[in-house]
Amino acid sequence: MGTVALSSGNLTASDRQILRTVNAGASSLSFLGSSFIVLCYLLFRDLRKFSFKLVFYLAISDMLCSFFSIVGDPSTGFFCYAQGYSTHFFCIASFLWTTTIAFTLHRTVVRHKTDVEDMEAMFHLYVWGTSLVMTVIRSMGNDHRHLGGAWCSSQTGRSKKAYHFITFYVPLWGAILYNGFTYFQVIRMLNNATRMAEGMSDRASDGRPDMKALNRWGYYPLILIGSWTFGTLNVIHDLIEPGHKIFWLSVLHVGTAALMGLFNSIAYGLNSSVRRAISERLDLFCPERLQRWLPANSAKSRSTGQESELVSLKVQDEH
């Protein structure tokens, strides 16, 4: 990936080939997963609510990040610049869109505000503007060239690696901390509201459907942590000991980072509303006898009457 910026270091030609293969395979899975979410948004009108629109923008960023990662290893200068900077730009945009989703949930659930739809233009300015600024800063003084590694890489000097760390990993972990704190507040408030509702009602099961959403939200910050922990450790090691690569750490770095789009598409996109929309289309085109054997149909029966974890936000239904 352009954000990985691995130098060849002490890696052998066989090691670099393995890294290229891991990157291409994992990025392809992310590309397919995020493309599926984009396709669902375009095909199913009932998914075009504001909250899922943010997931749509996240999927677009993941899709383009994965695409430019798959391009990989171009040998000419222009394509090297285009591949490296484009991947950097869209990968930053990806984790920034997750912060807008966290912000939307927090503002709606915790602060009881219904004005988040009016902030869409601000969200675009924040995400694309920050991504552009970080990419431009990274480009300062960089001499992109083909080093025989898995991707276009910048020069191997510590100052260049420091630019990369500052313009990608610092905002990345800032987003992780923000998402974790925000979801903690959202989950705590909904847990308190659920306990209060159960205390006032004899039917304790009334709050259970919401607990599924709470459990799912708790995993959202872990996606970025799981995707980029090995990458962060690898980059820090590379700053401390330049030219001495740890192969197994590089493989984990490449594999987990390239799977970020797939993780996002499953966690954010493949929710009950998407499954229900797919199941309803299957009802129209598949014979009834075949429907009984499809998992989507059973998912529909389990989730009937239950709103999506994200689409269920009251914000999109406000007048």
> Per-residue pLDDT for 195 more than 90?
no
- Which of 32-41, 127-136, 270-279, 296-305 is predicted with the least confidence, judged by mean pLDDT? 296-305
| Tens-digit pLDDT profile for residues 113-123 | 888 899 999 99
Q: What H or E segment, with its residue span, contains residue 40?
A: helix 13-43
What is the rounded CA–CA span in Å between residue 213 and residue 132?
33
| Contacts with 139 (C-beta within 8 Å, 6 or more apart), sequence order | 85
State how far the alpha carbon of 156 is from the alpha carbons of 5, 7, 143, 251, in Å. 9, 6, 10, 19
Number of helices and strands in the chain (H, E): 12, 0
Q: What H or E segment, with its residue span, contains residue 280?
A: helix 272-285
CA atoms within 13 A on the CB side of 205: 0
What is the rounded CA–CA span in Å between residue 166 and residue 225?
17
| Tens-digit pLDDT profile for residues 122-173 | 999 999 999 999 999 988 756 554 433 345 554 456 777 888 899 999 999 9
E-strand ranges in the chain read none
